[in-house]
Structure 1
Amino acid sequence: MQLKPLLRKFGPQPHIAETPHLSLIPRTSSPGMSVKVDLSKTNYYIVASVEMGNTTTKCILTATDLSSGKTYLLNKTVRMTRDVRAPRPGETVFGKTLDGGKLTRESVRDMVKETLLESHKAAGLDIEMDLNFVVRSTGVVAGFDSPDDVGQFILALADGCLIAKVPPKNMAPAMSKENIQKRCREFSFLDKVFFDGAVASVLPPMGSTGVEIVANEMEGELATAGIKEAAKWTGVDFRNPVCSIDFGTTLKGRVTNDILPYSKTIGSFCGLAGAIPDAIVRGSDLVDKTHGNVLDITSKIKPGLLTEMLKDNVIEEYAKWAHELVQIEVVPDGRKWYGSVPVNPAAAKNNKVSLIGCEVGENGKDLPRLNEVGAEVCKKHGVKTMLATLDMVSAMIAQRLIKTALDEKLITSKTTIGITGRAGITGHKPNLIIEKIGELGIYDKPEDHIIFCDDGLARGAAVMARCMNSFGTPKNPLGGVSGGKCIMAQRMKLQNKK
């Protein structure tokens, strides 16, 4: 029996931030009865994160205590994106999911509306009366020709919000402090600093002509901001310089430097992430061969520590086989897509951003070859060994991404790493990722420099809403550099110059 898996389980434990739940509907003693909290007498700022990804469509409702800056979860409503209705006659298909599902502006609108309404109903909230802000984002980029085309998708998401009766003012930053709801006004610093595009003190990477360098850049921005908020629950100071990686179906994230008052994005991640383990499980007989994914299995089966202990060498070998098909590199010049994601390497180069991608064949064309890995490991060793193999595959992706960023001189021992997304935080992935990144020799104690969190994107939506309306917490800042103080005075000086 090998000791390595035991160390993963009982050795240095990863910092994992889980969003605490908050109920705004305290139950009375009578079954089925509830009394609604009067939000006008609280400091909570209610934000809806509406995201349509390749695998799931979510509405996550959060409540931020504006006095402390900490965010709580109210409700998470998740639907499978593959269940979006088919295009109707007269509708124009403007994009598709990674597995080929066709999307129209109207079908996206309807899916978003239904998810929003369901989430608010479950939380006992009224969209028109209780919701303060909504942030929209998408990871569906496979059917687009360029990064700029994502704008059309964001408009479709807006359509869904509007027909769900989200007030338009709750989708844009306030123009002045007087435009902010009275109960929240005292917590805004909009009379001192205005929103100038930096979220949690990080400027987004834009090409010299204002062209985005990667289609799902907004998701990377939100994930980075969300991990910064999540870190407040762990005790780790996740402020610049940082490296964030979101292991959703597609890969996103960024690396920042430590310039004040705003850091610059010096690295960006793109390509495939959760799509890789999804392709592996489609080789088994447990999921649909076209639309199946890991979530279809993990809701019922867990890999288990005993499986890792008894099958450690087998797991390593199958993970290495999968990685023979995975390319991780700086995105070559001239590429229009990388791992299904529209990219602009020229814009990245003009802005001195290293664009690091994860790919399986050219533009994901070899993903079906990963089916063979899942078919063999499941047939010979069972589903639990297959799931344990997926954990190792993700850990090796994380290691190779960080190694590439290290080779590009983007990361130093001062950089804190944050990971979110289903293919980076579930199962025993956090323990394995710490182990694999530790092998690179960047940190003496890697577990103190790497944090993991759920729902990074939704947390980031809450942070973005705060930034847009200048809801700061100077005594517990999100911006600035690790160990540093609040940057409001520096922001004021900079904005007065401009």
Structure 2
Amino acid sequence: MSVEHEFAGSRFLGKNFNLNKLKITDSSFVVASVEAGNTTTKCILTSTDLETGKTEIIGKCVRLTRDIQKPAKTADVFGKTIGGTELAKDTLAELVRDTIRQALFEKNLTADDVHFVVRSTGVTAESEHLEMIILALAEGCLLAGFPPRKMTGYLSLDNMPDKLRPYSYLDKVYFDGAVAGVRPPAGFGEGIVSNEMEGELAMAGLKEAGKQTGADFRNPCIAIDMGTTLSGRISDAGIPYARTIANFCGYAGAVADALIQNIDFEKKSAYELIPEETAAIEVNQNEIETAAAEVMKYVQVMKIPEKRSRFGPFAVNAAAAKKSGTILFGCDVGENGSDFEKLADIGKSVYQSGGLEAVAALTDEVMSEILVLLIQCVAKEKFIREETFIGITGRAGITGTKKEKIIQKLKNRKILENPEKKLIFAEDGLAHGAAVMARCMNSLGCPNNPVGGLRGGKCIMAERRKLQNMRH
């Protein structure tokens, strides 16, 4: 079960899983979030009480994507992760299958106990390769025992399981593409950025996670996902739906991974090599700050120029973004990752002088700096209003001492007033987001505890009905 931790006056939703047998009630809506990422492949199980709208993470299985079985034939390989792991449809499907089965086994559940499955990928790829990843995810879910109907929304109450019908509003409002009260960018059909779904899930998940920390994380808000790659979005204060007015893309945890590449010859990620909560060990802070400044010479954090067709690992369409009124913010290393080797050299030097503890301190310093610069870019565009909350999820934004450093830097530089009151940090934002998306697709709303609408405002169902009736 997720629990809240206090630090520096801000809110952090962490984990404290109880992996005993789960009691599923008639009001429980169980969702499996299945993600194939550059570093990890996950199946995270959530249970939402449809009476209260409260979601809990009830179990998870996390496997290293690089441990995927090697393809039988080179010809089967359709793409690679950022770390260079080769991907083939069959072997990726098998990894997904095994990850799902393990997550269910640990909770003494079967595929029949899960009501809905949401699939996502953080692996960057060209369009034809992305299609193969999506197919592999679907195949893995099928192999794990999930029928196709659990991967698509119900079109009417008649098609919905009896126990869910009392909680669904499908007879009043239908799913029109807005998740948690936010529309995708107007030019989404033109392909503004290839990680749009990641950002969508991150924002939805942070909205839901915010409720458990006591924060009303609704529109307008900012969601930043610092996984291996950077994703997220910014919403305005529109009613009944907010617009997506900005997206994030580029590198995040991959920057931390680069710093350890010349330390461990198995090419492990920082996720594996550095503990999530680094002990408070004395390090030479002056040396760490000097090394971090050297790293930042090769890191670009910016509003993405219109001329760029690629930024970091992602294809971007800045012209289409401008046309739709959407701004792109990103983080790159050199140009499209060209300077990762320079970061590896700096990391090795720090390791030789101060050991793994010094490298952990360096990653915290660098990643907190990247996040603060992202927020500074957003503030420069005047996207941060008095009522705006900022949510952060992903390993490169919430582990170690990053949270405290982010808050302190925002204070020292006067970028954000009272940052400890405007920031929330949450683990597994995508999993929370999958639970919200599954509810939105099936109109399983909770009017007394909504995730859509404005901060401090009421449920938007009446406005949605009015808008949808006008379309017909």
- Place the TM-score, normalised by the shorter chain, in its bin: over 0.9
Partner of 1:340: 313
The one-letter code sitting in structure 2 at the alignment partner of 1:63 is: S
2:232 maps to 1:253: yes
Deviation, structure 1 residue 306: 4.2
Partner of 2:147: 167
Report the CA distance shift for 1:64/1:136 in structure 2 as closer, same or farther (over 3 A): same
1:353 and 1:92 map into 2 onto residues whose CA distance is: 38
- Is contact 1:267-1:410 (8 Å) kept? no
Query: 3-state DSSP class of the match of 2:353?
Result: helix
Deviation, structure 1 residue 206: 4.5
- Is contact 2:223-2:392 (8 Å) kept? yes
Partner of 1:18: 14
- Is contact 2:288-2:361 (8 Å) kept? yes
Deviations 1:179-228 (A, max 9, x none): 221112111111111110000001112527x1221111111100110000
Moved beyond 3 Å, runs of 4+:
19-24
2:454 maps to 1:481: yes
The one-letter code sitting in structure 2 at the alignment partner of 1:303 is: T
Report the CA distance shift for 1:22/1:380 in structure 2 as closer, same or farther (over 3 A): closer
Deviation, structure 1 residue 418: 0.2
Which TM-score applies when normalising by structure 1? 0.90
2:412 and 2:247 map into 1 onto residues whose CA distance is: 23
2:269 maps to 1:293: yes
- Is contact 2:277-2:399 (8 Å) kept? no
Partner of 1:3: none
What is the Cα-based RMSD across aligned positions, in Å?
Answer: 2.0
The one-letter code sitting in structure 2 at the alignment partner of 1:132 is: H
1:354 and 1:433 map into 2 onto residues whose CA distance is: 23
Partner of 1:140: 123
Partner of residue 87 from structure 2, selected from 67, 84, 103: 103
Which TM-score applies when normalising by structure 2? 0.94
Partner of residue 257 from structure 2, selected from 272, 278, 281: 278
2:6 and 2:92 map into 1 onto residues whose CA distance is: 45
Query: 3-state DSSP class of the match of 2:163?
Result: helix
1:297 and 1:251 map into 2 onto residues whose CA distance is: 20
Aligned-residue sequence identity (percent) comes to 46
- Once the two structures are superposed, the pairs formed by residues 410-425 of structure 1 within 5 Å of their partners are 410-425=383-398
Range moving further from structure 2, 338-347 or 249-258: 338-347
Deviations 1:464-489 (A, max 9, x none): 00100111111111111111111110
1:70 and 1:107 map into 2 onto residues whose CA distance is: 36
Deviation, structure 1 residue 375: 1.0
Deviation, structure 1 residue 302: 5.2
Report the CA distance shift for 1:258/1:302 in structure 2 as closer, same or farther (over 3 A): closer
- Is contact 1:331-1:355 (8 Å) kept? yes
2:186 and 2:120 map into 1 onto residues whose CA distance is: 18
Deviation, structure 1 residue 20: 5.7
- Is contact 1:434-1:447 (8 Å) kept? yes
Deviation, structure 1 residue 440: 4.5
Unaligned runs of 5+ in 2: none
Deviation, structure 1 residue 353: 0.8
Deviation, structure 1 residue 461: 0.4
1:495 and 1:302 map into 2 onto residues whose CA distance is: 47
Query: 3-state DSSP class of the match of 1:17?
Result: strand
1:321 and 1:74 map into 2 onto residues whose CA distance is: 42
1:155 and 1:69 map into 2 onto residues whose CA distance is: 31
Deviation, structure 1 residue 294: 1.0
Deviation, structure 1 residue 173: 0.5
Deviations 1:340-397 (A, max 9, x none): 1122222212211111110001111211110122111111122112101111111100
- Is contact 1:236-1:448 (8 Å) kept? no
Deviation, structure 1 residue 145: 2.9
- Is contact 1:215-1:342 (8 Å) kept? yes
Partner of 1:266: 245
1:23 and 1:67 map into 2 onto residues whose CA distance is: 23
- Is contact 1:206-1:347 (8 Å) kept? no
2:402 maps to 1:429: yes
1:465 and 1:344 map into 2 onto residues whose CA distance is: 29
Query: 3-state DSSP class of the match of 1:357?
Result: strand
- Is contact 1:25-1:124 (8 Å) kept? yes
2:301 maps to 1:305: no
Partner of 1:157: 137
2:261 and 2:361 map into 1 onto residues whose CA distance is: 15
Deviation, structure 1 residue 339: 0.9
Query: 3-state DSSP class of the match of 1:205?
Result: coil
Query: 3-state DSSP class of the match of 2:167?
Result: coil
Report the CA distance shift for 1:399/1:242 in structure 2 as closer, same or farther (over 3 A): same
Report the CA distance shift for 1:387/1:23 in structure 2 as closer, same or farther (over 3 A): closer
2:234 and 2:344 map into 1 onto residues whose CA distance is: 32
Partner of residue 451 from structure 1, selected from 424, 444, 448: 424
Partner of residue 357 from structure 2, selected from 369, 379, 384: 384
Partner of 1:29: none
Query: 3-state DSSP class of the match of 1:305?
Result: coil
2:377 and 2:416 map into 1 onto residues whose CA distance is: 16
2:34 maps to 1:50: yes
Report the CA distance shift for 1:372/1:203 in structure 2 as closer, same or farther (over 3 A): same
2:300 maps to 1:324: no
Query: 3-state DSSP class of the match of 1:263?
Result: coil
Report the CA distance shift for 1:392/1:265 in structure 2 as closer, same or farther (over 3 A): same
The one-letter code sitting in structure 1 at the alignment partner of 2:414 is: G
- Is contact 2:19-2:106 (8 Å) kept? no
Partner of 1:315: 288
- Is contact 2:376-2:415 (8 Å) kept? no
- Is contact 1:220-1:254 (8 Å) kept? yes
2:187 maps to 1:220: no
Deviation, structure 1 residue 436: 1.9
Report the CA distance shift for 1:187/1:91 in structure 2 as closer, same or farther (over 3 A): farther
The one-letter code sitting in structure 2 at the alignment partner of 1:375 is: K
- Is contact 2:78-2:129 (8 Å) kept? no
Aligned residues, how many? 467
